[in-house]
Every structure is written in C-alpha cells, then in structure tokens.
Amino acid sequence: MNLASCADHSFILTLACPDTRGIVHAISEWLVERQCNILESAQYGDPNTGLFMMRIHFSAEDSSHDSEGLGREFLPLVSRFDMDWSLRDSGKKPRVLILVSNQDHCLHDLLYRYRIGELNIEIPAVVSNHRTARQLAESHDIPFMHWPVTPELIHNWDIKLLQLIEDETVDFVVLARYMQILSKTICDRLPARIINIHHSFLPGFAGASPYAQAYKRGVKLIGATAHYVTQELDEGPIIEQDVLRVDHSMLPEELAAIGRDIEKVVLARAVRYHAEQRVVLNGKKTVVFR
Amino acid sequence: MNLASCADHSFILTLACPDTRGIVHAISEWLVERQCNILESAQYGDPNTGLFMMRIHFSAEDSSHDSEGLGREFLPLVSRFDMDWSLRDSGKKPRVLILVSNQDHCLHDLLYRYRIGELNIEIPAVVSNHRTARQLAESHDIPFMHWPVTPELIHNWDIKLLQLIEDETVDFVVLARYMQILSKTICDRLPARIINIHHSFLPGFAGASPYAQAYKRGVKLIGATAHYVTQELDEGPIIEQDVLRVDHSMLPEELAAIGRDIEKVVLARAVRYHAEQRVVLNGKKTVVFR
Amino acid sequence: MNLASCADHSFILTLACPDTRGIVHAISEWLVERQCNILESAQYGDPNTGLFMMRIHFSAEDSSHDSEGLGREFLPLVSRFDMDWSLRDSGKKPRVLILVSNQDHCLHDLLYRYRIGELNIEIPAVVSNHRTARQLAESHDIPFMHWPVTPELIHNWDIKLLQLIEDETVDFVVLARYMQILSKTICDRLPARIINIHHSFLPGFAGASPYAQAYKRGVKLIGATAHYVTQELDEGPIIEQDVLRVDHSMLPEELAAIGRDIEKVVLARAVRYHAEQRVVLNGKKTVVFR
Amino acid sequence: MNLASCADHSFILTLACPDTRGIVHAISEWLVERQCNILESAQYGDPNTGLFMMRIHFSAEDSSHDSEGLGREFLPLVSRFDMDWSLRDSGKKPRVLILVSNQDHCLHDLLYRYRIGELNIEIPAVVSNHRTARQLAESHDIPFMHWPVTPELIHNWDIKLLQLIEDETVDFVVLARYMQILSKTICDRLPARIINIHHSFLPGFAGASPYAQAYKRGVKLIGATAHYVTQELDEGPIIEQDVLRVDHSMLPEELAAIGRDIEKVVLARAVRYHAEQRVVLNGKKTVVFR
C-alpha cells in the first residue's frame, strides 16, 4: 500500500532484533491491546545472521494515540527483544534534503512526483554546487542553496550541511546526481540516511564515468543502482537496481540518455521505499519490504 | 525460501477469512503455545473485499507434531474466524498430474526441474492425447498414458481422469500445453487445482493461435500467462505472467520460439508457487506470496 | 545513432516499395554518384506482403545538397520502383504539436527531453481541453492554447486544429494523455501522423479506465502502448510497448502510478522513433528501424 | 529471420573492413550481377574505430551457385576493401562441440533446442570432465567423451581437443557451464570461436562463485553473460546478457535456481547468433546483428 494513498490515522513500526520465538506474538498482542489493526505487515528472518526484521503498518481506532505515546508504551518490548526500532506516524511526511550538481533529470523527476503527491515527503531545500537547478527548485517553492565545493571550504561545507539538517529536521538526504564525494564526517554522522543514485549496475562500473566504461566494455544492458552512502565509494547497501537493453550502435551519450530513464525510476523507488520505512539494514545489505 | 532447500520438520498454513482485529495475534499465540517458530510469513488484507489472507511457514521443535494433529488443534481458530484454510507438512511433496499434447517444451522443462529437485513435487503420471511425450516421461520413470480425445469418448475420458486423480491422490493438475478444452465437469470438480499455461499475455489474444494473432496485430512484446482453469476459456485467475521483446522482422514461428522461453519459466514459477502453497484465491484473482 | 547527437550535414531517406531485385544497388549507386556516405542503414522485406522498406541516414560531402534538390534527383528511382518515400534534412527538426488533458506527466516528460536536446524536435504549441498545463508549457516558452471540447463545438475544433497544423507546418501530433476521441475527419487527414499513448498493453484493456480493468482482472504486469491513431479506437499500428511488474497488493491508483513510468518512456521512445523517421507503416503494423 | 525457418538456397556473407564510400554499392552490384536477392541485411560503421561491418543473407536463383564458387568470385572485393570476411551456405549447419562439467542445465536446454530444430547446428560430440552428462548426450545420439582434467594431463588434453576439433571439422566450441579454465594454447588457437556462459552480469562478479558473491553484495537483480573466451578470464567480448529480479529473502542456492533460467536463454541466444553469423568482432566488443 502506497502511503500517499493512505489517509488513515496510522503508524509504521519497523524493527530488527535477534530472532527468537514469540516476537510476532508479543507485537500482535501489544497491537490488539491498543485496538490497533494491522494494515500491512512483512517480516524476514535472516538464517545467516540470526536477525529478525519486521515492518508493520497499523491503524489506531483511538484517535488520541500518537507516535510519541505509542513509542513509550513499546519500550518494554524493545528491551525484552533487544530491538533496533522506529515508530512513525504515517501522516507525518519525512523531510528530505536533495543535493544535485549540473545534471538535473533526477531532481526534475523527483520534484514532479513530489508535486503530484506520488512521493509523500517534504523537501525543505535543494543544495547544489552549481546554479543550474535554481529555477527548477524555486518554481516548486523550494529554497535553493548554491554551495560551491572547494578543497579549502570542505570543512565549512560539512558544518553547514549538518547545521541545515538539524535546523530543518531533515530525515534523510538524497544525492540526485550530486557529483561530489561526501566526507567521512558526513557519512559517519548519517548512516543509512543518505541515498545515492549511481549510474551503473553495481558492482560493475563503480567510480567515474560508468557510461564510458560500459561503452568500452561492450555490455548489452546498462543499469542504475540506488544505495546508502558509506565511506567506501559505491560500496554501500543497495536499495534498488534496474537495467535496460542497449546495443552495439549506441555511443556513450546514447547510453547516458537511456540511462537517465533508469536512474530516475530507480532513485524514485528507493526514495519512496525509504520514506515509507520499507528499507531495513541487514549488515551491508538491505531488506526491502515492498 | 524455496521449499526445495528446506529440510526442516516444518509446516505451511494458509488461510483466508473476513478481516478483523486479532487474527495474527490468535495465530501467533497458537504457534507459541506449540513451541513453533515462524520461518516465513506473509499476509494481505484486501480493502475491497474485506478478505484477509495469510501464509505461514513454521517449524516445530516437537517432532511428534504432524499435520493431522496440528490441523485438529487449529479447528477452534478456524471456526472463530470463519477460515478457509489448509495446513500441510512441507516435507510432503504435492502430487502433480501433467497433461500434455504434441508440444513438449513445458513438460521437458518441468521434468528437468523435477529431476534436479528444483520443484519439490511428485509426478505420478503424464497423460497425453498424443504419443509424442511417451519416451520423455518414461525416461524419468514416470508412467505415461496415451488417452486420445474424441467427441464420443469425452465422457469416459472425464471419468478416467477423475479416477486417476483419486487413485493417485493427485493434489493438482498441470496443463503443460495440453491443447484440449476440459469439460465443465472437470473444471467444477477441481477448482483452483488445474493450472494452464496460455501462450499470450492475457487478456490479449485469448483463444486459438495467439502467436498468429500477435503477429497480425504487430505487438512489440509477447507473453505467457499461467492461470487456474475455470469454465470460461482463458478467463481463470492469473497466477503469473511474463513477456519478452520481439520485433517486426519475426514471423509467427519465431514468435513461437521466443514464446517457448517465456511459457516454460512462467509455468514453472506457477507450479512452484502452487506447490509451495503460495497462491491464495481472492475471488477471480490470486494473491501470490512470493 | 540518435539524431540529437549528429551535427553533420546529413539526410534521412525512408521508402517502401514492392520487393524486387536491385533496389539496394540502385540506391547505393545513386548515393555514390553524389559523394554521399551511408551513416546508418536498415531494411526489411516482408515475406507476406512482398513489401520492401528501408531507412538510410547518409551524409553529403557537397554542402550545396539540400533535401529539395536531392528529392528531385531521386524521382527516377521513385517511379522505377514505385516507392512511397520521404527525404528529410536531418538538421531540420520535425515540428510536433502536443495535445494534453489534465494528466500532464507525459507532457512534463516530453518537455524535459525537449529542453535538454534529447528529442530533436520543435514544439510550436500545446493544445488542451483543460487549463492545467498552461504554466508548464509557458515555462518552456511554448504557446499554450486552451480549446474546450463540447459536442456543439467539435466541428469548429477540427477546423481550428487543421488550421493550426497548416499554419505551424506541423509534422506530426502527439496525444500525451489527451482524453478526447478525435473525429473521423482528423484521423483521415493525418494518417500515421498522430501518435497516442494508451495506458495498457494493447490489445488488452482497450477503451476506458485500463488500470481499473487491469486491477479487476488481476494481471501481474501492466503496460503502455504508443500507436498511430486511426478511426478504430486503440486499434492503430503499434509503435512501441513496454510493461512493469505489479502485484496483488496494488490498488488501481498504485497501478496508475507505476503505469505513469511506463507511459512516459514508451511515448518518448515512439516520438523519437517517429521524429527520426525510424517508423515505416506496413499495412496495419509498423516496422521500427531502431 | 531465424535460419531454422529458412529452407531456401541461400548464403550468409559477413564482413568487416575500413569504412569508406562505395562498399554497399560494390556488394549490391556484385549480388545483382549474380541474380542474388537480399533476404536480410544489416550494417554498422563504428565512428571510433572507422571499421565497417556488415551481414547479408541472400538467396541465389541459380542453383549452381555454391559457397566456394561465390567466395572465389568475391575475392576482388575482399582485396579492394581489405575485408575480413566469411561466406557460408545457410543450409550448411555449423558443427558445435559442447563442453560441460557437472551442472547440465545449459546442455539439457541446448540439446532440446537442437532436437526440435530451433538451433540450426550439428553437435558432433559432448566432452566433459565428469560422467554426469553421458546419458543425456547419448540419448540424443551424440558421442560423449569423458576427459578428466588433471594438472599433469592438461597438455595432452589440449592436444586431444584440438585434434577432435580438426577431425570433426568443428566450427565453434560452447562451454555450457564447463568449470575448467582453458589454456592459453586453446584460447589463442580459437579466437572468437569459443563461447562461454558466465553466471553473472559481467563485469560484476567475475571469477568463482558469482551467486555467492551476489548474495553477499545484496544485489537486486542477477544476470548471466555469454562471451567469447580469451586468455583474460571473463574478459572476452560480450555477446549477450540478461537479468532477472531477486530479493533479500533468497539464499545463494535460490539465486542459482533463478540464475539457471537466465543462463539457459542467454547461452542459447548467443549460440544461435553465432551459428547464424550474426556476431562480428569489433575489437574487444561485438556487433550483434539480431
């Protein structure tokens, strides 16, 4: 169920904990006791790591429930099962900061989905090291910040970004073809909260100029990968990937044109999955409850 | 989790009932009381029909549990929630009767998957209105029955088939490109127990010669559809579909060659989903817990 | 080769004629005599209709060549082989009139591709029976015309459209989710010059509300089809199709959201193929020289 | 046009040469002079390498033509344009030697396509370092050779293989999941004549255990790649690739099961393309005239 189409008074609970008997029972009891109805539920137990992960979307008949109160009442289960968890009011839109460089096709696509309500998010700002996207952002009434990146300013840049994230209570950051490498500081401070779109089917063609690499290697499909950003370039947990067919006659710029169509949908899916709390980290991988 | 890779003492419970609060809680309690562990669980509530559907794969630590005993103990929940349900020992392989005509690519493919253990089924017999597949079936040590179909014999044919299904305790029937229309009697007696592969992307090109129809219409993709057989030809609930790209240069026989590759995988997926109890009927549609 | 990436002084010749020996020889001789180089060439002979179709993209070293002069010189071949043909300067951008109703995702997508030069076209105007798209069109400096459609005005509407097409020397018309049925007059006057996007995988779900139909039927993939408009609704020659996977949990509006991603790329591909003269009619089908 | 469906007295000419004006003209003239009709023709000029590549399938009305005679008559064009070329009677089936190890799904698939005439080839022998596939090969009346591979025997093995290729006038070799690395000697002697299927979407997951690597990395699609074998492991020119979607719940053996479906079709396509002379080398890449 796409949250954008859900007007209910409802909540999303996600959790990860060591797998053991009775977790589902305890949670469903907790829900029944509070007159809550499960709207959607998905779970996965990883046989290799022994980790159990779950996402439950539930509605509450009692309109006095809020995520803070429910969260407090959930704490006994958290400590009993040693959970990583979050509980979020599904009506509260995640706040997403978008970073972009010169190529604005992903930004353009995300803003359209945002405008027609397909993405259930708020966008407090667009930040760019170029001025290209100013008009696009501002035509959607979104503040645009032009923050050039230079080696000597990079430390200040980090501070400004973290400040902006705090000031705007940003939930997560999207690199919509932002062609700068983020610092270790930023990556460490925002684990599983920065989504990047890489324009190849990782792990193939990591690094620079993937379409030129793809052309040179003569692959018959090209792809795109949305992943969480970690310090290791293009090595973060993969959220979504897709590919399209190409052929020998296509030059790198034609691969790039086809690639844009993949990048846009792959990033948009990843943003929606994350915004709807569908992605749970499982070590260096993700579990995506689609 | 593919059942073929699960060696545990485990069971699969599937159910459908009117959606109401407390179903998951009651089931999880029932499982906890019996020291059972959930291996895999998926559910869906249809907002339009108010039907709740669930599939749980669970293991039992107590090796004295069997599906008959557990089933008896599950009856109170069945009546409390008004469930359609089944509970099956995952180690007990479903028995699948395969019907085929002249074209044997789907049979050939299914028997290979069966031989290497990819499909966790038993095949008590292959029935055909032609002799073509005799050698193929017998080389897999599967009895082959050549039952010609003629208008005057059709009543007897039905009786023979139902007798064979009873004698061999057949769980479900697969029409692996069986080019005869089954009678109303057969369809009525085996609801959601006969899987057909139709060589088009339904609802397009129902009926005869779909590749010739596709050629004539000039479509750019061709497909295949696995569905449950009902009295309405090619109208039964769809289990799985897929497509592949074609182009203007391909003649009907080339579409058919490409189509074989889709038919094989679509039918094999549908057989696996059904054999693993992943398909639940939802009116004229299916819910597939993949 | 994408024309958008071809800066040469070059031409595109397309033709269809009865298949016979010597066509390629005659054309290649004609090109050699004029110091022209083949950049890209594709051909297809339909064994059923006996029709031969060809597309040649060639460059001319002699910069005095123009499409008018070359066309005149090509006439002897036209009459010798009884050709339907066209010869176009590849630097001359086709002029495309876009019609749209309330849903503007295809328009939004086409205008972006137009703006970044991915589609090598001119857009002299956007016409709509709603006012929704005015800002979008005008922000790209494209005149927007709000032409309501009412039964009593439909005759005038036809006259206005044909006049606009003449005044603006429109090469072809794109229905980018234009939810009105064009009259017989319009269809007859613009054969293979109007491209529609239908939001289903035709021939399945022709007519109204295809996503609601798809939901009701329970298909496992949904698609979109770009086709030339003829008098028979949704029956015109298909240019391009594609599909994406869906599942049982998706409501019609979620199918529509996924469908938008297919509609956009399928229509954009069809527009590009047509604008680059890659589509040749073959009876009720198309040959697409991709 | 699939050659398997072409009963004509026809020939396939493939060529690669430096791009220059007049090649198509010269070839079409040569064909017209011999009363030959083009059935299918495709060409590609690489703007980066300046190489022109072409494949023409043509029929000859004069039944006295044979590939040897035509080839002799073609020599003046070969030297005029400095061509790499081949000319083959399309009725003469390429002779294909298949190597396999324990996993026989690709062999099983190829032999089925061979048996029903979908692949227009001869298979003089199957060679394996295991005995597993003996029955499968022999049930298709194909000689099976069990040639164990040991470090001390590898030199003899090479000699035996080359001898077999000579004795049986083998056109090309298919590694249908043959899990041994071929020697430099073999690779050097058979350039672009050995096709391997690698069970990943190259360049991702080259080397050993690609499904285990894919599981570990958490990719959302898995693929297979058919390529020519060169000395650099998994680095040879790619002929065909495809992918299928997977998810977080799938263990390596389930990835492998899904992967088999991709491997089979990707290898079968590559074998058909090569057997029909549709693949032309272009440096370290291929041009595939599908």
CB contact under 8 A, D257 and B118: yes
Res A152 pLDDT > 90? no
Res B1 pLDDT > 60? no
DSSP D150-167: -GGGHHHHHHHHHHHHHH
Give the strand pairing for D194-198 and B172-175: unpaired
Cα distance between residue C251 and residue C1, in whole Å: 40
Element (H, E) at B79: helix B67-81
CB contact under 8 A, B112 and D116: no
Cα distance between residue D204 and residue D218, in whole Å: 12
Q: What are phi and psi of B241, to 5 degrees?
A: -145, 155
CB contact under 8 A, B25 and A22: no
Cα distance between residue A38 and residue B22, in whole Å: 9
Residues of C annotated as catalytic are 234
Q: Which A residues 42-61 touch B at CB under 8 Å?
A: 42-43, 45
Length of chain A: 290
Cα distance between residue A121 and residue A95, in whole Å: 6
Confirm if A214 and A206 have CB atoms less than 8 A apart. Answer: no
Q: Which two tokens stand for residue B49?
A: 């029909």
Residue A14 neighbours by CB distance under 10 Å: 22
Nearest to D129 by CA among D166, D177, D83, D89: D177
SS3 C180: coil
Cα distance between residue A250 and residue A258, in whole Å: 10
Amino acid code (one letter) for D282: N
Does a cis peptide bond (omega within 30 degrees of 0) precede residue D203? yes
**Using 50, 70 and 90 to split pLDDT, how confident is the model at B288?**
very high
CB contact under 8 A, D2 and B253: yes
Confirm if B13 and B39 have CB atoms less than 8 A apart. Answer: no
Cα distance between residue A59 and residue A37, in whole Å: 5
Distance, in angstroms, between A290 CA and closest chain C CA? 10
Report pLDDT for B7: 46
Give the residue from chain B lying closest to C237, CA to CA. B218
Report pLDDT for B3: 54
* CA distance to B75, B208, B221, C179, D44, per residue, from B211 (Å): 49, 9, 11, 31, 31
Res A283 pLDDT > 90? yes
Q: Which residues of chain D have pLDDT under 70?
A: 1-8
Cα distance between residue B98 and residue A207, in whole Å: 51
Cα distance between residue B255 and residue A45, in whole Å: 42
Nearest to B160 by CA among B148, B143, B175, B172: B148
DSSP D84-135: EEEEEETTSPPEEEEEE-S--HHHHHHHHHHHTTSS--EEEEEEESSSTTHH
pTM above 0.90, yes or no: yes
Does a cis peptide bond (omega within 30 degrees of 0) precede residue D151? no
For the segment B97-152, what is each residue's pLDDT rounded down to a tens digit?
999 999 999 999 999 999 999 999 999 999 999 999 999 999 999 999 999 998 88
* B40 vs D contacts (CB less than 8 Å): 249
Q: Is A201 on the interface with D (CB under 8 A)?
A: yes
Task: Sort C262 into a burial class: Cβ within 10 Å, 0-12 / 13-18 / 19+.
Answer: buried
Nearest to A27 by CA among B77, B15, B32, B14: B32
Amino acid code (one letter) for A224: A
Q: Is A127 on the interface with D (CB under 8 A)?
A: no
D22: left (phi over 0), alpha (psi -120 to 50) or beta: left
Res B32 pLDDT > 60? yes
Give the residue from chain A lying closest to B245, CA to CA. A245
Cα distance between residue D238 and residue A217, in whole Å: 8
CB contact under 8 A, A43 and B45: no
Interface test with A, best of C246, C264, C271, C278 (most A CBs within 10 A): C264
Q: Which two tokens stand for residue B271?
A: 């057989």
* B286 vs C contacts (CB less than 8 Å): 218, 248
Element (H, E) at C173: strand C172-175
Does a cis peptide bond (omega within 30 degrees of 0) precede residue A203? yes
CB contact under 8 A, B118 and D5: no
Distance, in angstroms, between A43 CA and closest chain B CA? 7
Report pLDDT for B120: 94
Give the residue from chain A lying closest to B33, CA to CA. A22
Distance, in angstroms, between A60 CA and closest chain C CA? 21
Q: Is A257 on the interface with C (CB under 8 A)?
A: yes
- By percentage, how much of chain B surpasses pLDDT 90? 93
Q: Is the torsion defined by CA of C108, C113, C115, C120 positive or negative?
A: negative
Residue A76 neighbours by CB distance under 10 Å: 11
Confirm if B96 and B121 have CB atoms less than 8 A apart. Answer: yes
* D254 vs B contacts (CB less than 8 Å): 1-2, 5
Which position has the higher pLDDT, A2 or B100? B100
- For residue B62, the 8-state DSSP code is S
Report pLDDT for C3: 55
Nearest to D56 by CA among D14, D109, D119, D6: D14
Nearest to B22 among A32, A40, A43 (CB): A32
Q: Is A38 on the interface with B (CB under 8 A)?
A: yes
Q: Is A265 on the interface with D (CB under 8 A)?
A: no
Report pLDDT for A7: 46
ipTM of the complex: 0.94
Give the residue from chain C lying closest to B215, CA to CA. C285
DSSP D244-272: EE--TT--HHHHHHHHHHHHHHHHHHHHH
Report pLDDT for B152: 84
Q: Which two tokens stand for residue D227?
A: 């390529």
Give the residue from chain C lying closest to A265, CA to CA. C261
Q: Is A30 on the interface with C (CB under 8 A)?
A: no
Res A4 pLDDT > 60? no
Nearest to C52 by CA among C289, C290, C230: C289
Cα distance between residue C143 and residue C102, in whole Å: 17
CB contact under 8 A, B254 and D5: yes
Nearest to C24 among D38, D45, D245 (CB): D38
Give the strand pairing for D84-89 and D10-18: antiparallel
Q: Is C40 on the interface with A (CB under 8 A)?
A: yes
What does pLDDT average to over chain C? 95
For the segment B49-81, what is each residue's pLDDT rounded down to a tens digit?
999 999 999 999 888 899 999 999 999 999 999
Distance, in angstroms, between D101 CA and closest chain C CA? 35
Confirm if A128 and A145 have CB atoms less than 8 A apart. Answer: yes
CB contact under 8 A, B254 and D105: no
**Using 50, 70 and 90 to split pLDDT, how confident is the model at B155?**
confident
Q: Is B8 a catalytic residue?
A: no
Amino acid code (one letter) for C110: L
Cα distance between residue D223 and residue B145, in whole Å: 39
Nearest to B118 by CA among B250, B260, B276, B240: B276
Report pLDDT for A5: 46
Q: Which two tokens stand for residue C179?
A: 């939810």
CB contact under 8 A, B45 and A38: yes
Distance, in angstroms, between B240 CA and closest chain C CA? 6
* CA distance to A52, A55, A278, per residue, from A85 (Å): 12, 10, 13
Nearest to A248 among D44, D242, D247 (CB): D44
Sheet strand arrangement including A221-228: A144-146, A122-128, A95-100, A172-175, A194-198, A221-228, A238-245
CB contact under 8 A, A220 and D240: yes
* Helix residue ranges per DSSP H, D183-225: 184-189, 210-217
CB contact under 8 A, C249 and A118: no
* CA distance to A97, A268, C161, C182, D261, per residue, from C155 (Å): 51, 43, 10, 11, 56
CB contact under 8 A, D5 and B139: no
Length of chain D: 290
For the segment C213-233, what is each residue's pLDDT rounded down to a tens digit?
999 999 999 999 999 999 998
DSSP C223-245: EEEEEE--SSTT-SPEEEEEEEE
Nearest to B12 by CA among B93, B120, B88: B88
Buried-exposed string B34-61: b where 16+ CB fall within 10 A, e elsewhere: bebbbbbbbbbbbeeeebbbbbbbbbbe
Q: Is D76 on the interface with C (CB under 8 A)?
A: no
Interface test with D, best of B109, B246, B290 (most D CBs within 10 A): B109
Report pLDDT for A2: 52
For the segment A168-215, what is each residue's pLDDT rounded down to a tens digit?
999 999 999 999 999 999 999 999 999 999 999 999 999 999 999 999
